[in-house]
Amino acid sequence: MSDLSSLALTHVAKLHAYTPGLQPTEAGWVKLNTNECPYPPSPRVAEALHEAIGPDAAALRLYPNPASTPVRAAVARLHGLTEADVCIGNGSDDILNLLIRAYCGGEAATGFTLPSYSLYPVLIGIQDGRMEAIEFDRSMRLPIDKIAASAARIFFLTSPNAPTGVGFGNAQIAQVLASFDGLLVVDEAYAPFAEESAIALLAAHPRLVVVRTLSKAFALAGIRVGYALAHPSVIEVLDRVRDSYNVNRLSQVAAVAALGDPSYYDGIIARVKATRTAAVADFAERRGWFTYPSQANFIFTEPKNARGESGAAVARSAYDFLCARQVLVRLFPSHALTASFLRISVGTDAEMRVLTDTLDAWLVRTAHNLPQ
């Protein structure tokens, strides 16, 4: 066989992998590019992991609970639901993948908005599914009529949206549910930082799926746990298509410990929101930069140089200047609505000070047209 790549399925041969944000391995970076939590997880997580591993890690001989039953119970308790309404994934990316595996393909299209989480088209491509992308305009208001008119069997809505941070209220989501016939997935990766959650709509709307993750608000991106909340008949479909041991033993232990300590997380979520408010005010009042109202743990802001100009080249210049000084943020150059912005994860107050000091230095450079 001379050409190994020709053995792959035709649609797979054309795929491009999802591009995750950079994860630098050396120390010294102010890392504000992948919306991780700047604070550690609940201290109960370390205690539970130490206990689970024990002195000789003997428990790791054994397979984990195949259905992640203790995690389902903890999630159900947290949201006032039952275990039959919950499926646990190896990160919420696993849950999104299960939804695509079960509901995408053939003639029916899979819908999502642009911009939103760029993993959706990658997963649909792996399935060789048809896509229907619904474009926002600069207002970032939810295009309810366009979603309703779409022929999608399943539609992915990120709320609060990424990378803008704009949240959609339950009145709007209920309007979508009233007019769209398919399964509506609301990806709530950032909902703990938002004003409302679509979880309140689940009881009345069997075609709604809410997806959550422990990666952002629970400070556990490294353990890969996420979950779906939905009608038991949807959960039962997801259980049919998932790997039988999709969540490892230590991740289950860490997740149960974290989910059992909501008051700790109320504290760090409040800190992130306070830092977010201060950062948005700084960009608006001191710099005159436009920032979308954020209900997430990041802000999406349109930098202006010292001459008051904005645009893709200005955003790139600010990004490169920050990156050269080990401050990592995220740039989304491939879409006209996002190319002139920076997405900045909310860090600690000290990290945000490094960010704003570095942006001040960038402004001085742009004022004098100096090389970076």
Ligand X SMILES: *Cc1c(COP(=O)(O)O)cnc(C)c1O
By CB under 6 A, name the binding residues for ligand X: 91-93, 117, 158, 162, 187, 189, 213, 215-216, 221, 226
CB of 231 to ligand X, least distance (A): 21
Whose Cβ is closer to ligand X: residue 127's or residue 310's? 127
CB of 91 to ligand X, least distance (A): 3
Whose Cβ is closer to ligand X: residue 197's or residue 213's? 213
Whose Cβ is closer to ligand X: residue 216's or residue 231's? 216
CB of 224 to ligand X, least distance (A): 6
CB of 145 closer than 8 Å to CB of 158? no
CB of 117 to ligand X, least distance (A): 4
- Enumerate the H helices of the chain as residue ranges: 10-13, 43-53, 69-79, 92-103, 119-126, 144-149, 170-179, 232-241, 249-259, 262-281, 312-324, 349-368
Task: Give which of 109, 72, 62 is closest to 239, Cα–Cα.
Answer: 72
CB of 347 to ligand X, least distance (A): 16
CB of 74 to ligand X, least distance (A): 16
Task: Give which of 193, 234, 178 is closest to 210, Cα–Cα.
Answer: 234
Whose Cβ is closer to ligand X: residue 33's or residue 275's? 33
CB of 221 to ligand X, least distance (A): 6
> Which of the 8 DSSP states describes residue 283?
I
Whose Cβ is closer to ligand X: residue 109's or residue 247's? 247
Whose Cβ is closer to ligand X: residue 172's or residue 356's? 172
Residue 259 to residue 265: CA distance in whole angstroms: 9
Question: Which position's Cβ is nearest ligand X?
Answer: 91
Distance from the Cα of residue 278 to its chain's centroid = 22
**CB-based contacts of 10, cutoff 8 Å, min separation 6:** none
Cα dist from 47 to 81, 95, 225, 257, whole Å:
27, 27, 18, 9
CB of 93 closer than 8 Å to CB of 119? yes
Residue 159 to residue 140: CA distance in whole angstroms: 12
Whose Cβ is closer to ligand X: residue 121's or residue 282's? 121
